[in-house]
Each structure stands twice: as structure tokens, then as C-alpha cells.
Structure 1
Amino acid sequence: MSVPRTDEPAPAVANADAPPAGRRRWLIVRRVVGGIVLLLVVLWLVLYITRGRFLRHPFERTVRALTSRQVSVAGDFQLYFDPIAIKFYAEGIRIANPSWATKPMLFAADRIDTRISPWSLIFGKRRLYWLDLTNGAVDLEWNAAHTTNSWTFSEKKGGKPLDFPSIDRATVTGTTVRYLDSRLKLLADLKIDDIQSADARIGHAVGLTGKGIVRSTPFTLTARLLTPDATAARGQNRLTMTAYAAHNRIDVAGTLPTIADIENVPLQVRANGRNLAELLHIIGVVIPQTRTYALHAQLVQSGTDYRFTRMAGTFGDSDLSGKFTVSDVEPRIHVAAELATRTLDIVDVAPFIGYNPDIVASQGAVAAAAATGAAPARLMPDAALPVADMGNFDANVHYTVRVVRSRNVPIADIDLTVALRDRQLQLSPLTFAMSRGNVAADVMMDAQRRPAHIDYDIRLAPTPMGRLLSGFGVVDAGTTGTIHGRIQLAGDGDSIHRSLANANGRIAIVMPAGTLSTRNVQLAELDIGTFVQRMFQHQLKAPVAINCGLIGFTVRNGAAAADPIIIDTTKNVITGRGGFDFGSEAVDLAFRADGKKFSLFSGQSPVGLKGYFSKPSLAVVSPQLMARAGSALGLALLATPPAAILAFVDVGDAKAAACGPVLAGATANAQRTTKGKPREDVGNGTPSTTGGKRKFLGIF
């Protein structure tokens, strides 16, 4: 039998006074919670009594750490619970911008007094019970790469949208906003109207005024936020804006998802002003001058693209519709457009060749040319082409016109493609219908060369003369003749006039067989008997039968010399000599009509065309004719009066033209009579030079 060991411990006896384990844990929790509550009460009491003024420096350090921005409060500071809401009060508060910004402060205010819902800070939907803001100044900027903005407190690519807390009641006075957008090249300084709100409702539109610069062009604007309550609640933002810049008015209306975000948002845009060129020059795009315009379109900005669609309106007395896109890309802006005009007034075409359309409409083309610096009586404008600005943008534009409103020349169905790339401009192809004939042209301008080099190639398909020249006295009835031709010139110069003044090339206008009915042809034939007889018998419009005709010029250094001028009719052979000068715009031409049959009264001497492009004059009685009249007078004195008639007798020895070289547009040295002999009466394509001045005939 074993004996229990006396050294083993006795079994433990439970302490009847100790609480159970679960109760002990509950006591611990209660004490911890009680301690926390007591601490919070003490903290609340301390904050309430001190108004939390001692937290100013910890507040500055904490916000600085969270935002990586310098924060300072210059005056009184309060931060405490009152009783539950967080009371925040600061005088002279400043929050710095990031280092890349152009202004030092993102936000500054003389005074901010607000109560914040603590739960909104916990659950993320910020809410202010009330806000009193005095003389707040906000600077909103995008960095140069447009990858982040000043109000995003992180390096998040693209930057966060500008967001506002929900505000139940607010009084906001003296608020200014500065906005800088590197992509838009826009700087705006805005002043917001004072705001009073209650129950989270402002109840009326909030206006703002301001000024700024967009792409070096100053502007002023007024705007109205029509839905400020929705804006304060982070809802949609419906606004209208009117801006004035470079004599233009631009109205914008739309609904933005956030107050500072127009990306992919349709905006309705209207613009009107005295000159559409002034509007587009704001964004660096150069077009010819226009008369007053009024246009409206829908604008959508997406990345670097600004798309204008559903465009319609007028410029001058012409209409315009279509769409275009401006892409703000490096190294140059790019413009792509599809434009259409139903009716284009001829005056509105004037800017495309350098005229001011308003002067053309009121004073005529000569006055418009003079306004460009052209010499007196000159017709071609001397307006410099915008060579320097052409390097700012590239373009691809397709433009169509249904009808051109013109008194003299009926033009329709214009189809033009414009391509500009790195200062090389092409107007090609350019086609239009003119009096049932078609014109095709290619104009190439290389502004990389200094001065610019311009190539002109204009081709006229066979066109009825009756309709083509109806505005110049040609009668359609009885006219069956046609005209076709080509102008090929190339010259250097920064204006149309300068490039033509030194141009080289050829001009050829060919008339196949047909009839022509016009007073001036009879005058050119200068058959005195026929002219007088028909003048009194009203028969001057009787058709003249044309076998073939060629009006050709060789152009050297701006001087166009006849090469050749020959028109073969059933009665006469009309030849011409002389030429004209693109530089001085002087004209010195002489036309001679030799009869193929005997005519008793025929001047048989030149009809002169002299003067200038703007004011040509017809010299019917030329020096040769006067000399012949003198001869007639001498014969009358020396012989019998009938002898005087002999001086005006045309024996009808004109040599008919071989139409082959004429219809081929050949130069003078290739022209022949019907008997194959060379012609020496049709010009040789070379002007003479006397005393350093170009001369053609020296007759006038």
C-alpha cells in the first residue's frame, strides 16, 4: 500500500471574490472606452475653450505633408468641434502651387469661415454646412505638357477634375479665378459675382466677368453659370459665355460634366464680326480677308482636336456651310475642312486675289488695288501674301461653290482643293464651269523660297463665246464660235503682281471656226463703208464668220509680246502686234484688218489698244490713218477730187491664214499663209527696249 507523498502541492482552491474571465474582459473594454470618451470630452473641451488656436502650426505641417504644398495662416486660426460639426476659421490662409506653376499660390483668402460635416470626411462625400469666404483668389493651371494640373495633389496623369463640396449655405464675396491652359494657349483672369445660398440652393444664375489672352490675342468675356446648385452638388454645369476678341463676338453655350472640363462635350458656338480672317488669325490660321460674317457650329474638343460640325452662316453676301477640325499639334497647327457655298457673290472673291472686298464693293477694283500700295491706275493688287504666317499651320481644305453671282462672267460649279504643308501651297485641282465651258487650274506657291515662287497653269476647255463674253458686248444669238486656251506662267514674288511682273511663260487663246456677232469686231475690221452703213441701218450685230484665230503671247520677265495675233475671217485677216507689261500694266497693241476682197472705203491701218489694264482706250484714228488722210488731201489738191478716194482703197490682197498652226497655238515663227509662206505681220514675241524701258510698238 502506497503512501502519498507529502511534497506534492495541494490542489488550487478557487477565489470566491475574483470575477469571471468574460466579465474581466468587459471591464477592460469599458474602461478603455470610458478612457477614450473621457479623452475625447477633454479634447473637445480643450478645443472648444481654446478654439483650437494652438493647432495652427500642426495644421500647417499636416496639410503640407499630405499635399506636398506649403500652407500658411497669417492671422487668426480656429479648429474645433461646435458641437459636432468641425468649425474651421482662418485669416490670411495660403496654399502654394506646385513648383512648375507660373503663380506661387493655388489658393489665398482674407478669411474663410466654415463648418464641415465630420462624417463627410470619413465617408468621402464632402459636405459643408455653411461657408463664408472673403476675397478668395484661386489659380488653376495646367502644366506645359498638359499632363497634370495645379489642383491635383498628386502626380496622377491627366490631373483630377475640379471638384466642389456640397454646401448647404454660403456667402462668397470678392472671389477671383485665374485659369491657364497650356494646350489652349489660354490665360483668363475672372471675377465671380458675390454668391448667397441657403438650403444648398443659390436659386439664381451666377455671373462672372473677366479678360485674358488666347494665342497672343486679348479678349474680354462675360459668363453665367445657369445651374450653380447642380454645380455645388457636383452635378451638371449649364453655362453661357460671350467673349470679344479682335473685333469678333463669340457666344458659347453648353453643359459641362465639371466646371473646368470641356473634353468631349458638345458646345454650341456662334461667332460674328467684321472679318472672318481676324477670328481665325487668333489660332494662327490665315485666310483671305472677308466682309462681315455670322456663323454658328457645334464644337467638340477631344485631346488636341477641336471639331466644328454643322457649321452654317454667311460672309459678305455669300453663304457658307460645312465642317472643319483644328488640330493643335507640333510643330504646326493642322486644319482639315469640308466647306460648301451655294451662292458666292463675286465681290466676296476679291480677297482671294488680294483686294479688300469692302473697297471693291464701294469704290471699285482700281481703288482696292491702290489701297494695297499699287501705283495709280493699276488694276492688280500689290498686297503681300501672308508668307510668314503660312509657316504656322498646315491645311487640307476642300471647297465647293454652286453658283457665282456676277454681272459679266457666269461662273458655276467651283471645286477647289487647297493643300498647305510647310509653306508650300497648292491650289490643285481647281475647276469651275464658265459659260458651258470648263476651266481647270493648278497654282503652286513655294514660300520656302525667298521671294516665293509661284507657278500658274490655267486651262480653258472649248467655251461658247456668246455666253462667255456676253457681259462685254458679244451677242449670244448669231454667235457659234468657241474659245479655248491655256496660260502657263512662273514668277517670283510675295504678291500676285510681283510674281507676274517677272514671270516667264506663254499665253494662247485659240478660236476654231464659227461665227461672232458683236459691234467691236466690225470696228476692228475698220471697213469704213461697212461700218457706217451698218451703224445707220442697225446691222452691226450681223455675225462675222471666223475660219480660225489665235491670240498668243510669249511672256519674258513680265513682258507679254504678241506671238502671234491672227484671226482669219471670210472677209478679212486680222493681225496684231505689240503686247502688254504685267509690271506697269501698260498696254500697247495694234490690230490691222486687211480685206480679202476689194473695198472702196477701208482704213487698212491699225486700230490701237493702249492705256492700262484698268483703263484701256481704243484708238480708231491712228497716226497711219491720219497720214493716209493727209495723202488724200494732197491728191485732192494736186489732182481731181476723185483721186483723193484712192488713198482709202483696199485692193483686197490679204493673205489668208493656214489654220493648222493657228489651231495648234503655235508661235509666230510657225505661222504660214495658205500658200505656205511665213507670216511677218503677226508679232514675233519680243518687245523692244529703248532707254531701259520696254516698248512694243512705240506708236502711241
Structure 2
Amino acid sequence: MADQALYRTGSVEQHGPREGGRTSTPFASLIAVLATLIGLVLLAWTILFVTKGRFLKSTFERYASRSAEREVRVAGDFKLYLNPIDIKFLAEGLTITNPRWAKERYFLKSKLIDSKIETIPLIFGKRRADWLMFVNGELDLAWSPDGKQNTWTLGKPSGEPFELPDIKRALIQGTRIRYTDPRLRLFANVGIDTVRAQDTRFAQDIRFAGNGTLRERPFTLSGSLMSPNETASGGRNRFRMHAEGYQTVLDVSGTLPGATRIEGVPLDFRLRGYNLARAFDFLGVAVPDTRAYRLRSTLTRQEGEWRFRRLRGVFGESDLAGWVTVGMPDNRLKLDAALATNTLDIIDAGPFIGYDPERLDATGGSVTRAQGGRILPDAPLRVEAISRFDADVKWTVRRVRADALPAISNIDLTLDLDRRLLKLSPLTFDLERGHVSADVSINARRAAVFTDMDLRLSPTPMGRLLKGFGVEESGTTGTVKARVNLAGPGDSIREWLGNSNGRIAIILPQGSLWSRNVQLSELDIGTFVWKMWEKRLKEPVQINCGLIAFTVRGGIAAADPILIDTKKNVILGRGGFSFKNEALDLRLRADGKKFSLFSAQSPVGIVGQFASPKLDVISPQLVARGAAGVGLAAVASPLAGILAFVDIGDAESAACGPVLAGARATAQREKDGDPRDDVGRGTTAKSESGKRSPEAKQKQRKKFLGIF
């Protein structure tokens, strides 16, 4: 039994190792497979290292040509192997052809390319090279005429922007790079060369210089990558670039961790010139024209964006600060910015709405001289340029310097451009003690650019707003509010206004105004002379309500209505003006509510052009009344001549409800509720001859009989 037990025990001991051997077989197989793979890799590595991969030349040409959909050829020596884990690539006489649409036959030609490429980043789609030697090369970077393809995107045609590979160290000799963009009408030809080392020192300078044209205007550029000796061991590189052309000067400098490593590196960026819009032409971005400018910022490329931070500078006599970002989300250029100006000179604001900055400078800021006697700017919107990018810009201005105009301050502008639809909303600013808010939409998606503007002025003290026109605050308590709503086609302000439809309304709530100003406008000679003798020119005159409104059709604005009700008079207006030719033709007349001697009672004309309005005081009607007075004096007596200038005071007070609501002429009422017959769309019921309608005559007869 013991022997059997021992036998069984021994049997158990004998079977134990066999079972253990069976369980370790898969692990051993895995080890064997890995060892085989490693051995094969080492064998392949050894073969490649010993042969330098020269036998792969034809294979490389075949697969590279298929992948690039271009012909790729190596005329001389070829090497492709791992050293030790990074890829070593050398090719003599490498050529890559261009697409058929390109003018040049070859995208790339070189006598020698020698490089060491990091393998692991390449697996994840990043192009990094520890070393690049490029000798006697030519590189043709060109966009197709429609901007949908380029020469550097190999394989399936696309329009991706050009990105430099990340290169730590480089030695470039006798190489030229051409860049062409037909959309921008931009061509550049740049030569790159390395200053050779002296004795045992490594090459110090990679220098480049070249020239080109932008929109048929020449420019030059130059610069260098100054690499100290320690660059060979992964040191840093001092970079500088200088470019001039199109009245623009650009300087960029900084320190790079590698020959082309600019990601996340802050660079000193300086830009100056005669017009900032010309500098942005390099990006294909349309910005408003400016006067001479000087800007400085920190420039950083990060996460696919160019970021201009700590921006500061001046344009004309105005300052500018903030930040700007230029990116390519969804492969479309996008401009984001937040800008701030402490003081904006009114002359510097002119180019933003279409005035030529060069003409403004030449004329000392005179708009009319710059526009050949016109006021409305006619610079066209650059529709083609704004179609190439989007924008989101915020700009604040603390104050506007304009001595001859009402004080403008606290401008807050938000600009949004989305595929040819430009919105300025909200656009707000303070005007004296009032506030202006506006919403502007410029739609360039339509066949004809269409602009819609809605501008609103909150109640503003009239004395402050009109002080530049002789109205003083002392004795003036009246306020004014307004709304302008215009829409129409046109690619310039002048063309848009000349085709616009809409309404303009200026409302005068109850208040007072210096009597001198009111009496002059009413031409009530008797009252004015009487008060002048009594030295009561500054006695306030009460305004009950007033409305100066125009209906605009096809760029022609007709009074609808002009109606101002004061304590003693009702001022009526007719006529209008034209945005098409900037002509003015308005007639204002004051009817007295009370009996007055020596009242002219004839229309006062405002005629001429926007740039040079004229006051037509001596009207034919006034001359006729003067002649009648002379005739009466000759026939009867001098006292009878006065009768020609008597105003019996028959004007009907206005109902202020429709006036303050900005209603059209057809909705205006007299104080007793009857429809007014003396206002109309562009006319008044009382004509220039002074004749009233039959209804008005009937009222006049009743009032005449009531007085006498």
C-alpha cells in the first residue's frame, strides 16, 4: 500500500511538470513570434542601414508619384533608411511636377536634398525634421486662378494653406522660391542662401532676399535666420525680416527654438505705412482705408492662428489698441478683433465711410474739396474682397475730436461679417447729452448690394446739439429726437442713398428757444424790430411741438410734413432734397396766430447743394408784397402801404399728438381735431403765391368777421 501511495505520489509529481509545460506553451509561442518580428525588424534595419536603402529608389518613385498624383523622379543618388530610429532621406536631382494648370512645369527641383525626419511625430501626421540640407533648389508655390487648388497640396486637389514643416537646423544654398496668387495679383520671387561657416564654426546666417508685385505694385523683402554655434546642439535662432512696398513697411524679429519653429513663439511685429488697407491686401482682407499709421504688437502663431496681442499705435491723429486674431476655421479666413480708441479725430473717421484718405490729407480734411464739391462719399464697397473672409470685430471709442460738430463720445461698434453679409449691430454712441443707436445691414449676397439702416436719436438738448448753428443753451430748454430708416441698393453710400426708400423724422417736444432765432426764421419783422428796440432778444419763445419729416422714394426726400407749432406762430414747410444730386429746394413759411404789423408772410427758401446751402430770403412773393405796399402808399397814403405787410393772425394751432408720434402729413390735425389743409406730401395747401385753399379761405373770412 505504501508502495502504491508512493507510486501515486510519484505519479502526481511526474504529471505536474507536464501540465505546467502545456500551460506555458502559448506564452512561449508569443515570445517566439515577438522575437521573430524583432529579428526581422533588425534584419530589415540592418539591410537598410548597410545598403542605405538605395534599392528602394524605383519603389519610392512609383509610390510617391501615385500618392502625389504627380510625376516624382530622382535623377542621381538615393538613400532611405533608419538612423537609428529617425528616417534618413537623401535624393540627388529630385523633381516633382506641377498640376497641368500651373505655368511652371515643376513644383520642386533640387540638386540635393539631405534630411533627417523624426519618425514618431510623422506617424501622427506631424512633419518634423532634425536636419535639412537643400542645395540649388527651386520651389513653385502657386494658387490656381479660381483659388480652389494650389501646387503644394499633393494628392487630391484642394486649397489648403501652406504650412512650413518644423525644422530644427537647416543649411540652404542657392535656392529660390516663387509664390503666385492670381486672386490677390501677388507674385514673389525669393532667394535663400546660407552664409558659410568659418574654420570649424557652424554656419551663422540663413539669409533671404527677394522682390515681387502686389496688385501690380512692386515690393522688396529681406531677412535672416541668425544661428549661433550652439544651434548644432539644439540651440535658439535669432530671426528678423524686413519688407517694403505699396507704401508699407514691415519688420518682424524674435528668437526661434528651431530654424522654422514659430509655433507659440512671441515675435516683435511692427507695421507702418500710408494706408492700413494696403497692408491687409496681403491677406486678401478688406478693411477701411486709413490715413498714415504706425502699429506695434506681439505676434504669435498658436493653434493654427496668427495672434496679434498688445496691439498699440496710431493712425492719422488717432490712437488704437487691442488685439487681432487671424485664423482659418473651416478652411475660410476669419478675422477676430477687439479694438479700443481713446481719441478719434473726425478726419480719421472719414475713410471709414468712403472718403479718400489721400484727398483728405491733400485738402486739410475738407470733405467738399476732397469730393469735388460733393458731400456724400462714393467709394464702392469691395464686394470681391469681403467675399473671401469672415470677421467679428468690436471697437470702442471714448471720444471724437471735432470742434465744429456736436460732441460725439462712447462709440460702441460691433461688426459681424458672415459670407458677404455685413452687419453693424449694435452701433451706439453718445451725441451731446443724447444717445444714438443704429442697426445697419449690408447684404452683398444679392446681385446688387442692399443696405438697410435704422438709426434712432433719443431726446437730446437742442441748445447743445445746435450750438454750432448759433443756438445757445441759455434760454433754450427744448429737446429733439429723431429716427432715420432707409433701405435700398447700391455699393457706395452715395449710390445707396440715391436709390433709397424710407422715412426721416425729427421731433421737437415742448420747450423753449431764444426768440431771436425763432423770429428770424419766421421773418416777423415787426415783432423782431420791436424786441430789438426793447433789448429783449433773449426772451424765450415757447415751442408747443414740432415735426420735420421727409418721405424718401428713389433717393428723393419730400417734406411729409414740416410743421412746428409755437406759442405765437405755426411754421410750415414744403419741398425737399435729393440724395442723387445733393440738391436742396425747401420753402418755410410762418403763419401768425395773433395780429402783427410788418410781417413778411412769404416763404423763406433753403436752396443750393448739401455742401453750399443758401438762404433765399428775398422771394418773389416778398417783392410782390413790397410792390403792392409802394402802390398803396402812392395811391392813398404812406399808412396805406403798411397794409401790405399786415398779418391778421389766422394760423390754426396744431394737435401735438400726431406731431409727437411722427405721423405723416395726412394724419396731422388742427387743435380742434379737424384735418390740416396746409400740409401735404412735399407741398403745403397754401401755395407760394400765398393763396389758401377754399376751406382755409372760409375759415379766414369767419375769423376776419369775428375780429372786426
- For residues 199 and 436 of structure 1, the distance between their equivalents in structure 2, rounded to whole angstroms, comes to 75
Q: Answer whether contact 1:466 1:480 (CA < 8 A) is retained.
A: yes
Match in the other structure for 1:474: 471
Is 1:235 aligned with 2:240?
no
Q: Answer whether contact 1:466 1:481 (CA < 8 A) is retained.
A: yes
What is the 5 A alignment of 1:341-356? 341-356=341-356
Shift of 1:218: 5.9
What is the 5 A alignment of 1:19-30? none
> Aligned-pair RMSD on alpha carbons?
3.8
- Aligned partner of 1:161: which letter? D
Match in the other structure for 2:159: none
C-alpha distance 161-357 of structure 1, shift in aligned 2 (>3 A): closer
- Aligned partner of 2:651: which letter? A
Match in the other structure for 1:369: 371
TM-score (norm 1): 0.75
SS for the counterpart of 2:464 is helix
C-alpha distance 238-142 of structure 1, shift in aligned 2 (>3 A): farther
C-alpha distance 475-158 of structure 1, shift in aligned 2 (>3 A): closer
- For residues 333 and 625 of structure 2, the distance between their equivalents in structure 1, rounded to whole angstroms, comes to 69
Match in the other structure for 1:649: 646
C-alpha distance 164-141 of structure 1, shift in aligned 2 (>3 A): farther
Shift of 1:511: 0.6
Q: Answer whether contact 1:251 1:271 (CA < 8 A) is retained.
A: yes
Q: Answer whether contact 2:585 2:606 (CA < 8 A) is retained.
A: yes
How many residues are matched?
Answer: 581
Pairing partner for 1:579 from 563, 576, 580: 576
Match in the other structure for 1:400: 396
CA deviation map 1:518-537 (0-9, x unaligned):
75433111111333455677
- For residues 131 and 480 of structure 2, the distance between their equivalents in structure 1, rounded to whole angstroms, comes to 81
Pairing partner for 2:439 from 431, 442, 446: 442
CA deviation map 1:289-345 (0-9, x unaligned):
110111111222235422211111111111111112112345631111111111111
C-alpha distance 199-441 of structure 1, shift in aligned 2 (>3 A): same
Q: Answer whether contact 1:590 1:607 (CA < 8 A) is retained.
A: yes
Match in the other structure for 1:412: 409
Match in the other structure for 1:693: none
CA deviation map 1:107-133 (0-9, x unaligned):
327x99xxxxxxxxxxxx9999xx9x9
C-alpha distance 452-180 of structure 1, shift in aligned 2 (>3 A): closer
CA deviation map 1:556-581 (0-9, x unaligned):
22211111111111121111111111
Match in the other structure for 2:36: none
What is the 5 A alignment of 1:82-481? 94-98=92-96, 103=106, 106-108=109-111, 136-137=136-137, 139=139, 161-164=166-169, 175-178=174-177, 189-192=190-193, 194-201=195-202, 207-212=207-212, 219-329=219-329, 332-363=332-363, 364-370=366-372, 377-407=373-403, 408-481=405-478
CA deviation map 1:57-80 (0-9, x unaligned):
x99956846975754469xxxxxx
Match in the other structure for 2:518: 521
Q: Which runs of 5+ in 2 are unaligned?
A: 1-50, 62-71, 78-89, 100-104, 115-128, 144-148, 156-161, 691-708
- Aligned partner of 1:417: which letter? T
- For residues 361 and 676 of structure 2, the distance between their equivalents in structure 1, rounded to whole angstroms, comes to 46
C-alpha distance 400-312 of structure 1, shift in aligned 2 (>3 A): same
- For residues 96 and 417 of structure 2, the distance between their equivalents in structure 1, rounded to whole angstroms, comes to 40
- For residues 199 and 345 of structure 1, the distance between their equivalents in structure 2, rounded to whole angstroms, comes to 59
Shift of 1:513: 0.8
Match in the other structure for 2:27: none
C-alpha distance 489-687 of structure 1, shift in aligned 2 (>3 A): farther
TM-score (norm 2): 0.74
Shift of 1:412: 0.5
Pairing partner for 1:490 from 480, 487, 491: 487
- For residues 383 and 148 of structure 1, the distance between their equivalents in structure 2, rounded to whole angstroms, comes to 38
- For residues 127 and 595 of structure 1, the distance between their equivalents in structure 2, rounded to whole angstroms, comes to 94
- For residues 386 and 358 of structure 1, the distance between their equivalents in structure 2, rounded to whole angstroms, comes to 18
- For residues 281 and 66 of structure 1, the distance between their equivalents in structure 2, rounded to whole angstroms, comes to 44
Q: Answer whether contact 1:215 1:283 (CA < 8 A) is retained.
A: no
- Aligned partner of 2:624: which letter? A
Q: Answer whether contact 1:164 1:233 (CA < 8 A) is retained.
A: no
Match in the other structure for 2:25: none
- For residues 446 and 218 of structure 2, the distance between their equivalents in structure 1, rounded to whole angstroms, comes to 33
SS for the counterpart of 1:414 is strand
What is the 5 A alignment of 1:49-60? none
- For residues 573 and 454 of structure 2, the distance between their equivalents in structure 1, rounded to whole angstroms, comes to 25
C-alpha distance 537-296 of structure 1, shift in aligned 2 (>3 A): farther
SS for the counterpart of 1:523 is helix
Q: Answer whether contact 1:231 1:259 (CA < 8 A) is retained.
A: no
Shift of 1:98: 4.2
- For residues 290 and 146 of structure 1, the distance between their equivalents in structure 2, rounded to whole angstroms, comes to 35
C-alpha distance 142-262 of structure 1, shift in aligned 2 (>3 A): farther
Q: Answer whether contact 1:561 1:683 (CA < 8 A) is retained.
A: no
SS for the counterpart of 2:359 is helix
Q: Answer whether contact 1:213 1:219 (CA < 8 A) is retained.
A: yes
- For residues 139 and 422 of structure 2, the distance between their equivalents in structure 1, rounded to whole angstroms, comes to 42
- Aligned partner of 2:419: which letter? D
SS for the counterpart of 2:475 is coil
- Aligned partner of 2:106: which letter? K
- For residues 329 and 130 of structure 2, the distance between their equivalents in structure 1, rounded to whole angstroms, comes to 39
Identity, in percent, stands at 46
Match in the other structure for 1:21: none
CA deviation map 1:607-647 (0-9, x unaligned):
11111111110011111111100100110111111110111
Q: Answer whether contact 2:131 2:167 (CA < 8 A) is retained.
A: no
SS for the counterpart of 1:680 is coil
SS for the counterpart of 1:197 is coil
C-alpha distance 207-96 of structure 1, shift in aligned 2 (>3 A): closer
Match in the other structure for 2:48: none
- Aligned partner of 1:199: which letter? T
- For residues 456 and 158 of structure 1, the distance between their equivalents in structure 2, rounded to whole angstroms, comes to 42
C-alpha distance 532-228 of structure 1, shift in aligned 2 (>3 A): farther
Shift of 1:419: 1.0
C-alpha distance 361-181 of structure 1, shift in aligned 2 (>3 A): closer
